[in-house]
Amino acid sequence: MGPMSFHRYVALGDSFTEGVGDPDPARPNGVRGWADRVAEVLDAQAGPDGDFGYANLAIRGRKLHAIIAEQLAPAIALRPDLVSVYAGANDILRPRVDLDALVADYDEALARLAATGAHLLVWTAFDPGGSAIYRPVRGRFALYNELVRESADRHGATVVDFWRLREYRDWRYWDADRMHMGPAGHQRMAIEVLDSLGVEHDLVPLELADLPTTGRRDQLREDLAWARDSAAPWVHRRLTGRSSGDTVTARHPALARVLATTAPTPASPGGA
C-alpha cells in the first residue's frame, strides 16, 4: 500500500483539538494547534490546485456529550474522508464519572462516523503518572484507554497512543497552565498523527528551551502563581457550571484550505 492521502478532513473535540496552548494571533480564536499543522501537510500534498478542505469544529471545555450533540451532525454533513475525535478528558477530571457509560456513548458516535466511510482517528488519554497534580486519577485514564481501544478495534479506527508518548512527561511540551500542550507539544502531536496515518511529511520536533535551574523557593513561587492564575479559575468554572468555551465558536466550521505559517516559539518549561 502506498502513502495515505485525504481530501476532506474534519476535526472534532475540545481544547486539545482546538489548539489551545499554541498561540497564533493571525488565526481564528488566536491559536494554531496540531490539527492545523496536520491539515497544512495534507493541503500541501494536494498541490496549489488540489482538492482539499479542512474543518475544525472543536471547542475548548466541551465534555463528551456536548461534543456529540454539537459537532457530530455538522461533521457528517461535511462528508469527510478523515475524521479525528478526541473527547472525554474533561469528563474524566470531574469528581464523578461513569466511564463505561461514557465510552458506550462515544462508541455509538464512532459507529455513526464509521458508517459514512470516513477513516477514523482517536486517542488514548495521556498518562498522568509523572504529575503530582493529575496522578490521583491515573486509574481512570487507564480504564478509559482500554475502553477506547476496544471501540477503535470495533470500528477500524487508527489510535494515537498518547499514553505511551513518554516525552510528554517533560513539562517543556506543555503550556504554562499545565493543562494544555504548548507549541512543542502540538508539533510533536502533529508528527505522531501523520506517522500513525502513514502520511509522508517533513515535520520535525521543535527545539526545546533549556531546562531551568530553579531552587526550591523559585519553584514554590511558580507553583503559587500557577495555582492563582490557572488552577483557581478552572476550579471556579467547575463550581459555577461555566466553561472556558462558553463564548467560543468553532475555528473552522466549514471546509476550506489552510495556509502554513512559520513555526512558533517553543513552550515555556514548567512543572507539576
pLDDT (tens digit, 9 = 90+) per residue, 193-209? 999 999 999 999 999 98
Indicate whether 217 pLDDT > 90. no
Q: What does DSSP assign to residue 179?
A: S
Q: Architecture of domain 8-256 in CATH?
A: 3-Layer(aba) Sandwich (3.40)
Q: Please tell me the pTM assigned to this model.
A: 0.86
Calculate mean pLDDT across residues 49-75: 95
pLDDT at 86: 96
| Largest distance between two CA atoms of the chain | 57
pLDDT reported for residue 148: 97
pLDDT more than 70, % of the chain = 83
Q: Which residues contact 206 (CB under 8 A, 6 or more apart)?
A: 183, 184, 187, 188, 263, 266
Q: How many residues does the chain have?
A: 272
192 Cβ contact list (under 8 Å, min separation 6): 160, 165
Residues paired with 55 in a beta bridge: 10
How, if at all, do strands 119-123 and 158-160 pair?
parallel
Residue in the block written with cell 493529575: 134
Q: Report pLDDT for 129.
A: 86
Q: What per-residue confidence (pLDDT) applies to 107?
A: 98
Counting beta carbons within 10 angstroms of the beta carbon of residue 239, is it exposed (0 to 12), middle (13 to 18) or buried (19 or more)? exposed
Does residue 189 register a pLDDT over 90? yes
The span from the CA of 125 to the CA of 86, in Å, is 9
Taking Cα atoms as reference points, which of 165, 159, 91, 95 lies closest to residue 127?
Answer: 165
Report the distance separating Cα 134 and Cα 146, nearest Å: 19
